[in-house]
Amino acid sequence: MLEDIGQAIGLVLTFENLLFASVGMAVGLVFGALPGLNASVAIGLLIPFTYYLDPMVAIVALVAIGKGGNFGGSVPAVLLNIPGTPSATFTAIDGHQLTKAGKSKKALHMALWGSTLGDLFSDLVLILVAAPLAALALMVGPPEYAAIILFSLLIVGTMVGSAPLKGLVAAAFGLLLGTVGLDLFTMEDRFTFGIINLQDGIPVIPMIMGLLVVSEVFAQLRREAVSHAELRPLPVEQASQGLTARELGHELPNIVKSGALGTLIGAIPGLGATLGAFIAYSEARRSQPKDEVPVGKGSLRGIAAAEAGNSATNGSNMIPLVTLGIPGNVEAALFLGAFMIHGITPGPMLMTQQPVMLYAIFISLILANFLMLGQGFVLIRLVRYVLAVDNRLLLPAILLVAVLGTYATTRQVFDIGLMFAFGLLGYAMRRLGFTPMPTIIGFLLGPLLEDGVRRTLALSGGEFGIFFQRPITLGFLALAAVTLFAIVRHLMAQRRLPGGPGSLE
């Protein structure tokens, strides 16, 4: 083990890795700080450009982008009361009140420390639990794997987005898209419609770029152009006093507790950073001392809790990805796509077959936290220039990069057309209230679910009873049934509400 860790350290701490990690962190911070954009867009945009990189370099860069984007969202939340990411909504409550009081620098420093320490806490938990969970996962066979994936898809479809039913429909559509191409067992064409380019299935890059990046660009371009008042330099004086060591030390217990809550939330597929921030923020408000500034009224405690809570999900959402190959949130799903592109298969066998690679991923997570701390202070100094970028110039540039990135991956013009087709599909989904992310996760996990089900039926001679004879399988199927029951009950309750869907009023 120590030998593997030593090799992993040497693999990560190279000039090329450090360079791309620094660049990735800067990109993530900027994308997170620009309202309307986020780390998911940045990762989806840059995945194609990692195709020609060494797998370790690519992973280090993408990890840095994800972590940087998570903190970057707190910058416009504090300064403009415009959360750069949904999870920064709770940071904005106290952060912007401190900005109006002339303490924006103090608020941003607390957000940075809370984000870094909360993230570091979850990374350490990931390192401690990954090996035991991977060993346990090795005992999981095709029936258990199929049941776990089914339950995960239900959770992701239900939790991602505001409408559970629409989330499930989007996930089911992703499963359907995952069947396109040659059958895994019979090698017959399925839904290719005679198009040779689809025989190997729908390419991952055009789909992710289209549904995530291009659709977001279309949605942003449709919105009203940013007013001149929003684009002018910030009126807030940034030379205010920064955070003191005493203030940081006072909030350390709060950060650790919030990080623990965020870690727990992030380990459950589909819950995400926004819920982590909400739970941590609510607990900070409930347990705050009476002699402090109330949380919600310009409190450093509220900022620390919200940032530690949402950032702590970054490491723990990698737990199901590393141990079972199941993404826990948006970024983890994109990491899964990146791993697949580079020939890396996350899951229990990763620990036994490629331990050096796994430890290198862990070390890169720790490294990214230190990079975020250093570059975060630089961003705070330069923030007025970052927020002044005009979306009318930025969004077309992102679209151009998406086209170049897609073409650079396969050099197929067909893939560019496919990207725009998925972009239009993603835009239509957003307009209709659907979230594209469950579709992407369903697409990535669909072949794994199909493989698990068909292998199980092959083992049992076509008898479905095998799914109800194994304790782990039966347990996850029961959880899936309970989830479906809760969804149906929720929808029926909504229909009975006056003015609700399907009501007579």
- Is the model's pLDDT at 147 over the cut of 90? no
Q: Choose between 271 and 142: higher pLDDT.
A: 142
Q: Which of 89 and 433 is assigned the larger pLDDT? A: 433
Question: How large is the average pLDDT for residues 243-265?
Answer: 89
Q: State how far the Cα of 208 lies from the Cα of 422, in Å rounded to an integer.
A: 8
- Please choose, from the candidates 362, 357, 325, the residue with its C-alpha nearest in 3D space to the C-alpha of residue 340: 325
For residues 338 and 343, give the distance between their C-alpha atoms in angstroms, rounded to a whole number: 9
DSSP 165: H
**What is the per-residue pLDDT across 16-29, written as a single tens digit (0 to 9) for each?**
888 988 998 998 88
Average pLDDT on 137-153 reads 76
Give whole-number Cα distances, 460 to 30, 58, 180, 453, 456, in Å.
53, 41, 26, 11, 6
HSE, CB side, 13 Å, CA atoms: give it for residue 199. 6
d(CA 380, CA 232): 17
The one-character DSSP state at 48 is G
**Among the listed ranges 172-176, 203-207, 377-381, 428-432, which one has the minimum average pLDDT value?**
203-207
β-bridge mates for residue 182, sequence order = 189
33-47, 123-137, 266-280, 489-503 — which is least confidently predicted? Answer: 489-503
Using CA atoms of 198, 201, 202, 208 in order, give the dihedral in degrees to the nearest 10. Answer: -160
Which residues have a Cβ under 8 Å from the Cβ of 69 and sit 6 or more positions away?
Answer: 28, 29, 31, 32, 38, 39, 40, 42, 43, 85
- DSSP letters along 379-401, please? HHHHHHHHTT--HHHHHHHHHHH
pLDDT of 421: 93
pTM of the model: 0.68
CB of 267 closer than 8 Å to CB of 259: no
**Across 118-144, average pLDDT:** 78
Contacts of 253 (CB under 8 A, 6+ apart): none
| Closest C-alpha to 365, from 116, 132, 134, 113 | 116
> What percent of the chain clears pLDDT 70, i.e. is strictly above it?
85
Mean pLDDT of the chain, nearest integer: 79
Number of Cβ within a 10 Å radius of residue 455? 17
CA distance 335 to 347: 13
Q: Which residue has better confidence, 349 or 370?
A: 370
Please tell me the predicted confidence (pLDDT) of residue 464. Answer: 82
- Summarize pLDDT for 282-340 with one digit per residue, the tens: 888 888 888 788 887 888 999 999 999 988 888 887 877 777 777 766 677 777 777 77
**Residue of 501 and 221 predicted with greater confidence:** 221
Mean pLDDT, residues 167-194 taken together: 85
**Range of weakest confidence among 97-111, 172-186, 333-347:** 333-347
Main-chain phi, psi angles of 182, to 5 degrees: -75, 135
pLDDT confidence of residue 115: 92
Residue-by-residue DSSP string for 289-328: -TTSPPTTSS-HHHHHHHHHHHHTHHHHTTHHHHHHS---
What is the C-alpha separation between 31 and 386, in angstroms, rounded? Answer: 9
Q: How far is CA 459 from CA 172, 179, 416, 419, 455, in A?
A: 26, 22, 41, 39, 6
Among 280, 259, 263, 252, smallest CA distance to 94 is for: 280
Cα–chain center distance at 25: 15
Span 411-422, mean pLDDT? 89
What whole-number distance in Å separates Cα of residue 178 and Cα of residue 298? 48
